[in-house]
Structure 1
Amino acid sequence: MENKVRFHGQGGEFFGIWIVNILLSVVTLGIYSAWAKVRTKKYFYGNTELAGDRFDYHATPKQILIGRAIAAVCVLVWFSASHFMPLFALVLMLAFFGVYPLLARNNARFDARMSSYRNVRFNFNGSVKGAYWAMLGCGVVSMIPLVILFVITAMVFEKSILVGGLFTLLSVAAYLYVFANVTATITRYFANGYQYGNRQFSAEIGTGFFVKTTVLAALLGLGLFVALAGVFVLVAGAGAVSFIASGQFENLQGGSLWPFLAIFIVYAGMLLVMVAVSAFVKARTRNYTFAQLKAAGEPEYGFSSSLRTPAFVWLIVSNILMQLLTLGLARPWAMVRTQRYLADNTAVIGDLSLLNVSGEAFDDGAAIADEVAQAFDIGVGIG
């Protein structure tokens, strides 16, 4: 039995909440932003329905405000150090990498504990040790043989270009594997860490899938860049021929908008390629992870995700264009469109009328890790 997730929010309705949040945050010099975040979360959670019941968000503005204040201090210290004390900024950067796994883990735990369905809270119980291995240790250990291989490749190149070329291909393949393995390890950590009430989530995440996805993404990016270069050459050639034929060849050297147009085309094309590759990876990864995900207990429940790369790319590109053309005023519609698309392509497999789950009380604490993670753009999870 497939239970589709439904999102009932409307762009026009959310715009009223969003614009008030913006205005009050400006008037209060950012203090109201904590209340704004809670209102936004409650709107999106409260409008997300599964099998006739809706989700809820339980964080309070006070929790968010404390975390946001600490995050603001961290950002201010980092900004000041990077401008006036570069050496100290380097120390701070190393310290940040040292606490990154802890921040990501605590961020996931806070977000989960603040979320509920049918009055039962979610939780994230991934260990700190597991977080450090997934997000730091695995990558560091994997990089050691990779660096050795890079050094050997450089040494071999000095003696034989052919053998050096073969070692270069081997190095690229090794890098792709290491990247895929680290991504799989992080996904495995988060997928097996979530919990709903007394039902533990679990997923058997294979590295092979991520190797295939990484290779396909690299080939897709390369193919799109080659196609982009071909289009640029054709357009540039056509423009040059047109100028020469019209006797305005000197316009190619100065006083013409063509160079600016060419730069715009290149950057727009590169952005489109990056969006396409990113959407491809996210869609494949989300679909695979949800297909592997199970909620333990009797009966057992599964999950499904059916994102499609072309539709996902169009959603992202159209959202960007919509916000650019309206100077950001269309952001509420972009957020609602994204949430609706994700909801429409998400389902829980199983008879939810038989769902029997018991909740657990948590010490909510402050949203310190959550806000610091957002301040430094730490977004890790299962989508």
Structure 2
Amino acid sequence: MENKVKFYGQGKEFFGIWIVNMLLSSATLGIYSAWAKVRTNQYFYGNTEIAGDRFSYHALPQQILIGRIIAAVCVVVWVIANQFFPIASLALLAVGVGLMPWLLRNNARFDASMTSYRNVRFGFTGKLASAYLVFLGLPVLCYLSVGVVSFFGGSQLKAGHFGLGITLLLFAIVLGFLAYSWIASKVASYYLNHYTYGNHHFKAEVSWKIFAKTYLQSGLIWFGLSAIAGIIALMVIGTDVGVFTSPVSGSFPLLIIGAYLFLAMTVMIINAFIRTRIRNYLFGQVEVGDSPVYQLASRMTVGGLLYLIMTNLALLIVTIGIATPWVKVRTAAYLANVTFVIGDLSQLQAEGEAVTQNNAVADEVANAFDLGVGIG
């Protein structure tokens, strides 16, 4: 049995919430933004439905406000240190990197524990040691290895051993690509295998090969589009070879505009391709519970997501940001429309546990430094 996720939010309806949030947040110098976040999440969660039941968001504004104050202090201290005390800023950077796994893990715990479905809350049970291994240990080990190979490759080139040097540098590139794919799969596995719904645990077998294949295909798309763009550019320029040496050439502005449009379009296409492939794969790997077992499914398409990205961008540009509520609602509606829960949810029985993860500090600090890692 397939249960389609439904979203009932409306752009016009959310606009009223959004504009009030904006005005009050500005009037209170950002203090009201904590209440704004809660109202926004309550609206989107409350309008998301599966099998006739909707989600709820339980965070209190006071929790988020404390977290945001601490996050703001961290940002201010970092900016001041970076401007006036460079050595101290390096020390703060080291501390920040050291705290990153703790922030990401606690961010997931807070967000999950503040979410409920059928009066049963979600949870996240990832261990802190595992977070440090996945978010810090493995990346450092992998890219240190890449750096060592690159160093020896460069040394061989300087010594005149071009064959060995080029071989080592190419090996470093391949090693870095594989390391990135492997780490990305480990991050996804860490999250997916530690979420809970009441007494039900999420499980997923995640293969790094799918990530590597997806990233490789996205690279091929980049090269293919670049080749097409190059051919078109030569056709447009024609015999006007002066465009490369004279900025006042008639074709020069056209070339610059075309380059920017190509870059923007290519980024959107590759972003849509990667997000679609990875999301569909990860959702298809998820199982929840033991008896019965429920599964997730994602049927996102590259064309559908690309259309959403392009039209949302156009709306924001034309309305100078006023269409933000409609953009958020359209995005939520699209994601819901391509998401399914497979299984008879009328048989779902879950027992909730006491929630103790009520600290929003890590959540807000992670958001302040843009450390969020999402899979949806």
- TM-score, with normalisation over the residues of structure 2? 0.94
Q: Gaps (5+ residues) in structure 2?
A: none
Q: What residue identity is the alignment partner of 2:62?
A: K
Larger displacement relative to structure 2 (220-229 or 121-130): 220-229
The residue aligned with 2:313 is: 320
Q: Report the CA distance between 1:257 and its aligned residue.
A: 7.7
The residue aligned with 1:68 is: 68
Q: Report the CA distance between 1:118 and its aligned residue.
A: 0.4
Q: What residue identity is the alignment partner of 1:198?
A: N
Q: Is the 8 A contact 2:110 2:357 kept in 1?
A: yes
Output aligned runs, 1:142-291, within 5 Å: 142-158=142-158, 159-237=160-238, 240=240, 253-254=247-248, 259-291=252-284
Distance 1:97 1:300, change over 3 A: same
Residue 332 (structure 1) aligned to one of 304, 325, 329 = 325
Q: Is the 8 A contact 1:190 1:381 kept in 2?
A: no
Residue 294 (structure 2) aligned to one of 282, 296, 301 = 301
Structure 2 residue 120 is matched with structure 1 residue 127: no
Q: Gaps (5+ residues) in structure 1?
A: none
> Structure 2: how far apart are the matches of 1:149 and 1:275?
33
- TM-score, with normalisation over the residues of structure 1? 0.92
The residue aligned with 1:108 is: 108
Q: Is the 8 A contact 2:142 2:176 kept in 1?
A: no
Larger displacement relative to structure 2 (274-283 or 114-123): 274-283
Q: What residue identity is the alignment partner of 2:333?
A: R
Q: Is the 8 A contact 1:102 1:132 kept in 2?
A: yes
Q: Report the CA distance between 1:334 and its aligned residue.
A: 0.8
The DSSP-based 3-state class of the residue aligned with 1:322 is helix
Structure 2 residue 331 is matched with structure 1 residue 341: no
Instruction: Give deviations 1:313-361, integer Å, cap 9, x for gaps.
Output: 2211221121011110011111111111111111111000000110111
Instruction: Give deviations 1:255-304, integer Å, cap 9, x for gaps.
Output: x7854443333223212212221221111111111111111221111110
> Structure 1: how far apart are the matches of 2:320 and 2:40?
20
The residue aligned with 1:36 is: 36
Distance 1:262 1:85, change over 3 A: farther
Q: What residue identity is the alignment partner of 2:179?
A: V
Q: What residue identity is the alignment partner of 1:186?
A: V
Q: Is the 8 A contact 1:70 1:368 kept in 2?
A: yes
Q: Is the 8 A contact 2:149 2:169 kept in 1?
A: no
The residue aligned with 1:21 is: 21
The residue aligned with 1:4 is: 4
> Structure 2: how far apart are the matches of 1:152 and 1:181?
23
**RMSD over equivalenced CA pairs, Å:** 2.0
Q: Report the CA distance between 1:152 and its aligned residue.
A: 2.5
Q: What residue identity is the alignment partner of 1:285?
A: I
> Structure 2: how far apart are the matches of 1:275 and 1:138?
29
Q: Is the 8 A contact 1:108 1:381 kept in 2?
A: no
Identity of aligned residues (%): 45
Q: What residue identity is the alignment partner of 2:335?
A: L
The residue aligned with 1:86 is: 86
